[in-house]
Structure 1
Amino acid sequence: MKQENRILISVDVEEFDIPEEFGQQVPLQEKLEISRKGLQATLDLFEKYQVRATFFITAYWAQHYPELIRKMAAQHEIASHAYYHSSFTDADLEGSRLALQEISGQQIRGFRMPRLRKVNMTALRDAGYIYDASVNPTWLPGRYNNWHLPRTMYQENDVWIIPSSVSPIVRYPVFWLSVKNAPLWITRHFSRAILRKDKYLSFYFHPWELVNIQEYALPAYIKRICGTRMQDKLEGFLRFLQQQGQFCAHIDMLQ
């Protein structure tokens, strides 16, 4: 039954540094504010559709907006997206967890590596996390090739892995780039297939997608649909998902 399906929405809150991957430098305050504006639009949509979600946040971004983080923590799960989005060491695992814990007042249990790079599971466990959400079990040219990994939740080194959702057989990924660029009927089709098979769906996106980023030196597949167009597209997807199951945070799947 649809009521038994779990809908895991997660949001990667970070410094807006993706233009730097394509050679454009962005001032720090601008990188922070772009995400803040998009996050407010995200929270408005979540309130409208009664979404409980997981926010993977860099500790550095959270330190600039502590009041907003505490407000979000009253309804949503706060998790770590490392300390900074553009640099990382294993020491950042514990450092980001403790910083976010102090700001949010929540126990920080989950982690997602920026750009979904591979995580040292032993270091992650030793830093106090119980789950990781850094796996997209599909193939994306230039990013990752994870066809060999399980599509659904599994354990590694006593840490739960909660992958982003991909469809059975062809492993079509339902994530920010596909939802942005594909017609909504395609997203709905593969989402139904995932829910029929797995009884849950895990989808993630970034707040900066909900801001007008046309002026930045980004490929068309990233910036062609952004701002209010992306807000409308995301709203259509949330309206569909609301009819397919219950919105819950990642941590809810483990309790």
Structure 2
Amino acid sequence: MNKIFLTFDLEEFDIPEEFGQTVDFQTKMRMSYEGMEKVLALFRKYQVKTTIFCTACYAENNVEQIKRIVAEGHEIASHGYYHSAFEVDDLRKSREKLMEISGQKVTGFRMPRLQPVSYSELQKAGYQYDSSMNPTFLPGRYNHLDKPRTVYKLPEITILPTSVTPIGRIPLFWLGFKNYPAWYFQFAAKRCLKKDGYLSLYFHPWEFCDLSAYQLPTYVKRIDNDKLLKRLENLILALQSPENQFSTIDSFLISS
């Protein structure tokens, strides 16, 4: 059966700070909390299970929500301790804090902004897989055209890349979901799913809130709030079939 991972990076809403704006801590928490609640309601409606990469900072300030996420059958993985700051020891500390709060074993990691991370340090911190690899070229961000396009194992850890198209390596990530025509994103997602046997996408809960008050580039806030939530619902409907299953990453890797 084909597996679908609609993963979310549950973090402090700090993207306006990348563009010179200040966001108070309460707003950083509120935007992600409210967006996550919308997504969780949609997942309950369609019985979708998934992996949520969460910062320890967010989890410490939203314990009740994290416990509900786990109770509803989703996987909690680490997104570091803070979204905009990193020290190597955060790998261990974030994993321990997330396990303490969630009561769930934490096996996966995703580096904020998909930046490089030491695989040996991940192994030492107790992780079994990393999902920080986007095997494509994004100007100003990274060039990973030399990396495998699908899941692969290293001596230290298993790597589950974000899905890109088989031809051209067009990235199927959150910005593509907003900016590609909906019909094309669905078509490309289905092609990846058929070719690879799984589909790994990622989004942010704050995208599903009203971003109009923030001076963000058009490509970031072109579609947001309930309009984007409807686009996500349509994607779920397009991917639903007896041959496809919405799944957590951890359960997929254990059974592989």
Normalised by the size of structure 2, how large is the TM-score?
0.97
- State the AA in 2 paired with 1:66: V
Percent identity of the aligned residues? 49
Q: Quick check: 32-41 or 65-74, which moved more?
A: 65-74
8 Å contact kept, 1:10–1:203: yes
What pairs up with 1:62-211 in 2 under 5 angstroms? 62-74=59-71, 75-211=73-209
- For residues 49 and 177 of structure 1, the distance between their equivalents in structure 2, rounded to whole angstroms, comes to 24
Separation in 2, partners of 1:128, 1:168: 32
* 2:199 counterpart letter in structure 1: L
**Deviation at 1:157?**
3.1
Give yes or no for contact 2:175–2:219 (8 Å, CA) kept in 1. yes
Cα contact 2:135–2:147 (8 A) shared by 1:
yes
Superimposed CA distance per residue, residues 27-64 of structure 1 (whole angstroms, 9 cap, x where no aligned partner):
01101100000000010111111110000000000000
Specify every segment of 5 or more residues in structure 1 that has no aligned partner in the other structure, as ranges. none
Structure 2: which 5+ runs fail to align?
none
| Alpha carbons 1:214, 1:224 under 8 Å: kept | no
Instruction: Determine if contact 1:49/1:242 at 8 Å carries over to the other structure.
Output: no
Shift of residue 11, structure 1, vs aligned partner: 0.5
Give a deviation string over 1:77-131, Cα, whole Å, max 9, x none. 0000000000001100000000000000000000000000011000000000000
Where does residue 248 of structure 1 map in the other structure?
247
Cα distance in 2 between the residues matched to 1:173 and 1:59: 27
Cα displacement (A) at 1:158:
2.5
Bigger mean CA offset, 86-95 vs 192-201: 192-201
Distance in 2 (alpha carbons) for counterparts of 1:156 and 1:25: 40
Q: Which residue of 1 aligns with 2:28?
A: 31
Q: How many residues align?
A: 252
Contact 2:190 2:239 in 1 (8 A): no
SS at match of 1:70: helix
Q: Distance in 2 between matches of 1:249 and 1:219?
A: 32
- Cα RMSD of the aligned pairs, angstroms, is 0.9
- Give how far 1:142 is off: 1.5
- The answer to whether residue 9 in structure 2 is matched with residue 9 in structure 1 is no
> AA paired with 2:245?
Q
C-alpha displacement at 1:254, in angstroms? 1.3
The 3-state SS of whatever aligns with 1:52 is coil
Opposite residue 177 of structure 2, the aligned amino acid is V
- d(CA) in 1 for partners of 2:232, 2:190: 16
Q: Which moved more, 1:7-16 or 1:149-158?
A: 149-158
1:227 is matched with 225
CA distance in 1, matches of 2:142, 2:212: 26
User: Which whole-Å CA distance do the structure 1 matches of 2:46 and 2:143 have between them?
Assistant: 34
C-alpha separation in 2, matches of 1:242 and 1:105: 30
Alpha-carbon distance, 1:141 to partner = 1.5
**What is the match of residue 21 of structure 1?**
18
